[in-house]
Amino acid sequence: MRLHAVPYGGRRRREGSGVFLAEILRSAPKTAAGVVYDMPTGVTEATQTLAAAATVTAGSFFESVPKGADAYVMKLILHDWDDEKSLRILRGIRESIKPDGRLIIFEWVVPDVVGAEHRRALLADMLMLVLTGGRERTEDEYRGLLAQASFTLASVSGPLGELGFTRLEAVPSA
């Protein structure tokens, strides 16, 4: 199995460090391999973290995405970008993904009905808009983005763990 982690770490302190992919590979079969694909400024630490477990490749997912992975994994990527840029990222992955591949996205997903208990989601949404021009999205909004990029949302799990990420798994549409 070959995994591609697409962190785009030029903007965040720990992204691109390889820690996320290292954790995935630690629980994967011994034959699994991975690629961290990140901005040139974000790959230095990943090379040290992953050693021989994975390849580190510099580049921008706005230009291209490495081909040939069984799964593409993104964590907290799409919420950094507006719909237009998110679609560019997703379409690049769609062009590179195998017909039977998987796209696994970890993001905070905003509930359809937001109450006082969802203050964190509302604050995160406002911060993403102000800081990056991005936004937090509902499950239906992710489903729509994925459909526009020729993916089908296959499963949704979450919120997971103490940080409350949701795992969205998509497959290429026919």
Catalytically active residues, by annotation: 79
Residue identified by tokens 């290429």 is: 172
Which residue type does 47 have?
T
Report yes or no: 24 and 3 within 8 Å, Cβ to Cβ.
yes
**Cβ-based neighbours of 137, under 8 Å, separated by 6 or more:** 78, 79, 107, 109, 110, 145
Helix (H, G, I), strand (E, B) or coil at 64: coil
Round to whole Å and give the CA distance between 146 and 103.
Answer: 10
Per this entry, what is the length of the chain? 174
Measured CA distances, 45 to 18, 48, 77, 79, 128 (Å): 7, 5, 19, 23, 25
